[in-house]
Amino acid sequence: MDFSYTAQEEQFRMELRSWLEANLPEGWVEGTFEMPEEQAAYGQFLRDWQKQLSDGRWAAIAWPEKYGGRNATLMEEIIYHQEMVRVKAPPLVNYVGLHMVGPTLIQSGTPEQQEKYIPKILSGEEVWCQGYSEPNAGSDLAAVQTTAVKDGDKWIINGQKIWTSFAHFGDRCFLVARTSKGEKKHHGLTCFLLNMNQPGVEVRPIIQMDGEHDFNEVYLTDAIAYDSEVIGHVDDGWRVTISLLMHERTGIGAQVFSLEQQFSELVGLAQTVTEDDVPLIQNGDVRKRMLDLYIKSRGSLLNYYRNLTKQLKVGHPGVEGSMDKLFVSEVTKELFSEAISLQGQQGLLWKDDAIYGKSYWQRNYLYSFGQTIGGGTSEIQKNTIGERILGLPKDVGR
């Protein structure tokens, strides 16, 4: 692909920069980056930011204009990610809705579902979570035990989901449940657009080792979904499930732009931390490790570009998203591990005691382990790459 930008693309960048300067939350342009700590206020802060993006038509630029997007080109998407990372824009509370559910609805939803859900996804009026993972199933998504039983025009749903990101903010859940026993375990599954605000849906928090709360357990006891909330066909949910996963991995792959910035920050850390009054960046071993990380992060970026180019040609994400997901999550973990090592014993200090970056490095180091699990573990990605890209024999253990 051509890495240079046209005058029109640079104009797009300037338009986005102007909008960000005028619309980022108070104090953001000045570099304070402060968000509420209390959960409800934090959630409202993120919903307000989502609404701001939607009003400016910057929430889902790659979507077709008829759905509220901008028909953005591949290069415009790249510019968008670069600029959002540059200003350290607040996170998206409706990440699941924008990057996973919305594209899947556009691809597989009925006109009525698209009309009902997509505008609220864009504005953040309805925040979505994803009901895939279950206890005792590990990464084996087809081992779903949550059941949905037909009752007139309704489905009665019972079961448990786990590691459900943003369920504590969620209004809707893209949920996969077993509706019949097929010949194979990935048969007999159906996807539902479940209303989270109903009796029978209980959300319990899971507090991570960094003290944050992103994940939850979700208990379903005679929860109800209607026929109109089935996406795709009954018992054919596996196809829809995989479609959503491909969108998810493409979205995760876009974190290569954050990785590029984090590498620059790591170089800054190595220039700041000293040993015998000599900056560590001048240490030969440190420089060698930095070079290794630069090669990996740069390789991740170029691989992401290649996969995006293919996606643009065929019109939908492919299995190559597993490569992006694997590379980005593993290199991110390695990068933050290096940041902790550079600080020596001071790397163990936490919150107000942290010497460098107000626990930025420590928090991200702890969080990086989860990144190699969420959205499919690294082991699952390796199996997918081996079997579906390299054409290797299937895992004999499955």
In 136-188, where do the E strands start and end? 147-151, 154-161, 172-178
Q: Let me know if 281 is exposed, middle or buried by CB neighbors in 10 A (0-12, 13-18, 19+).
A: middle
Active site residues: 248
Output phi, psi for 78, to 5 deg: -65, -45
Three-state secondary-structure class, residue 113? helix
Maximum CA pair distance of the chain? 76
Cα–Cα distances (Å) from 397 to 40, 276, 378, 393, in that order, read: 45, 53, 17, 11
Cα–Cα distances (Å) from 149 to 51, 72, 76, 190, in that order, read: 36, 41, 45, 11
Which are the contacts of 215, defined by CB distance < 8 A and separation ≥ 6?
A: 162, 163, 164, 165, 205, 206, 208
d(CA 318, CA 331): 22
Q: How many CB atoms lie within 10 A of CB 165?
A: 19
Tokens 């670069």 appear where? Answer: 82
Q: Closest Cα to residue 167, out of 133, 123, 116?
A: 133
- 220-243 CB burial, b ≥16 within 10 A, e <16: beebbbeeebbbbebebbbebbeb
Q: Let me know if 178 is exposed, middle or buried by CB neighbors in 10 A (0-12, 13-18, 19+).
A: buried
d(CA 135, CA 145): 9
Which are the contacts of 111, defined by CB distance < 8 A and separation ≥ 6?
A: none
- Quick one: which H or E segment has residue 322? helix 321-342
d(CA 164, CA 220): 13
